[in-house]
Amino acid sequence: MATKNNSRQFHLGKRLLAYFKPFWPKLILVGLLLLLGIGFNLLEPYFLGKIIDEKLLVGDWEGARKMIFFLLGIYGGAWLTRFLQAKLMAKISQEALFFLRQDLFVHLQGLSIRFFDQKAHGDLMSRLTNDIEAINRALGQNLLQLASNFLSLVGVLIFIFFLNFPLALTVAVSFPFVVGVTVLVTKRTRKGFQALQKEVGSLNGVLEEQIGGVRTVQAFSQQEKSLVLFSQKNDAVCRQGIYASTFAFLLPPLINIFANANIGLVAGVGGFLALQGKVGIGLVVAFINYSRQVSQPVRELADIYNSFQEALAGAGRVFEIIDRQPEIEDAPGAREVKLQGKVVFDKVSFSYDEKKTVLKEISFMVEPGQTLALVGPTGAGKTTIANLLFRFYEPSEGKIFLDEREIREIKIASLRRQLGLVLQDPFLFSATILENIRYGRPEASQEEVIAAAKIAGAHQFIKRLPQGYETKLSWGGTDLSQGQRQLLTIARAVLVDPVILLLDEATSSVDTRTEREIQKALDRLRQNRTSIVIAHRLSTIRNADQILFIKNGQIKERGTHRELLAKKGFYARFYQAQFGGLGVGA
């Protein structure tokens, strides 16, 4: 198991470092600065010892003064190289993580709707923020420190053995103990940080759901239940955080014990050798400093190791998404197609999972310019038909044709550019009204946007707003009424000028007067355009060329409004339930 984990960590680390590949010239410069800085660090204790033994102890104050200025220059050079390293590495790491964050977001955008149905949005946001930030801390701040400490440790150990073998051996004696303690403790921290980040993602999922549904929570007075749910997840994060942090914080004090004991040992051995005249006092002072330079990198390496464990746990969650293959993508040979608007469903069946079939052998045809209405009880599968036409999902069985061409032969981007969608629950972005209407056609002029708003019946209320079309909306457009939000999404669809228009309960959230105005606009919009209308308000579909009554995923009836009323079947009973009358001339 340990070998498998180590192999996985090595693979994750290799993938992360691949994002630094374009910056190798800058990394080489960082490496040169790093070596220069290590050289300065090695010279600091050496010249300090020289000043004591060769200048101060013999009374050469002028020589000591000159060497002190030289030593200050070494200190200044060490500081300058560290500053330049940090600045350059910060730039490199931020640019590398820019591409990692972008890769993750772009890949998320390409995943199917089914994936987002199954994943908590808060957890996905956590991967884009918390996990990427963990990687940033490790690569941006600690990668350089890791290289610096490792090379410093190797450099110091080699250098001190050239200076004095007995003292060097004394400095190195604690090294195996420090390494052993580090290995034992960090095994625990790795497991802790992996579990912690998983719990943080779960907590973010709860936060996103509870904050997004705060109106419902308050409307049903379920604040206490919401708090209990949050507290449970928060407690899990707290417990995992304590576990991981306990071992992370335990390591530095343990290493300090060995480091301080080693300094005492070096001072004792060095004092004994000095009394025998075998070494100078300055050299002993230098070796005490070198002892610190050995213990400090090991202590910092332990901290850095903890940081890298956290980063690798985050990288695992990030690459888990990046490695996920899109369920729906362009088929080989798919190409751009200019649609005319003919839609054919040929024995299409679909299920969201293997347990329940949502659609069962649905077949229908809509000619260009015609309006098809889908009617039926909630959960019958009407919206699923629209989702399949947009290729948000793939049929389990059967085929969908557009202009005699199987839908998989058309590039997804080409397909969706020619479809217009107005949902029952309108969604607006935290941008201006102008930008929201222009969302599907960013290049559209302001005059075109205004014209689309007029067709949708939104122009009048927009004019009454303080900044008109430049009014900035909150996230989701919650500062507008439900009906106003719907009018803006209709204007958005108008501006796109789709070949095929899908209206999913587009007028269900507005009052009767607004509905009439929207219906007039939609009647104009549907001219010479294929339209598929999902409706509960049957008054909006009386003029449809064809109406399908869908129940339990099957087409139970089909025909015009008059024909279906005359049959006195499912549709007629549905109509009677709304209007209380049953007349063929209705």
Among 424, 406, 407, smallest CA distance to 416 is for 407
Q: State the maximum Cα–Cα separation within the chain, in Å, rounded to a whole number.
A: 121
What is residue 401's three-state secondary structure?
Answer: strand
pLDDT top residue among 367 and 124: 367
Whether 63 has a pLDDT exceeding 80, the answer reads no
Q: Could you give the percent of the chain with pLDDT greater than 70?
A: 87
Please check the confidence at residue 207 and state whether its pLDDT lies above 90. Answer: no
How far is Cα 347 from Cα 63, in angstroms, rounded to an integer?
98
Is 334's pLDDT higher than 80? yes
How many angstroms separate the CA atoms of 89 and 23, rounded?
A: 10
**Collapsed DSSP state (helix, strand, coil) of residue 557:** strand
At residue 424's C-alpha, the angle toward residues 569 and 531, to 5°, is 65
Digit-coded pLDDT (tens) for 152-179: 777 777 777 877 888 888 877 777 777 7
Question: H-type helices in 276-322, by residue range?
Answer: 281-322
Q: What is the pLDDT of residue 333?
A: 85
Task: Kindly indicate the confidence band of residue 5, based on its pLDDT and cuts at 50, 70 and 90.
Answer: low
258 vs 496, more confident = 496
Contacts for 142 with CB less than 8 Å, ≥ 6 apart = 303, 304, 307, 308
At 105-138, the pLDDT tens digits run: 888 877 877 777 777 676 777 787 778 877 877 7
Extended beta strands in 394-499, E state: 397-402, 405-406, 419-422
Non-local (6+) Cβ contacts of 116 within 8 A are 124
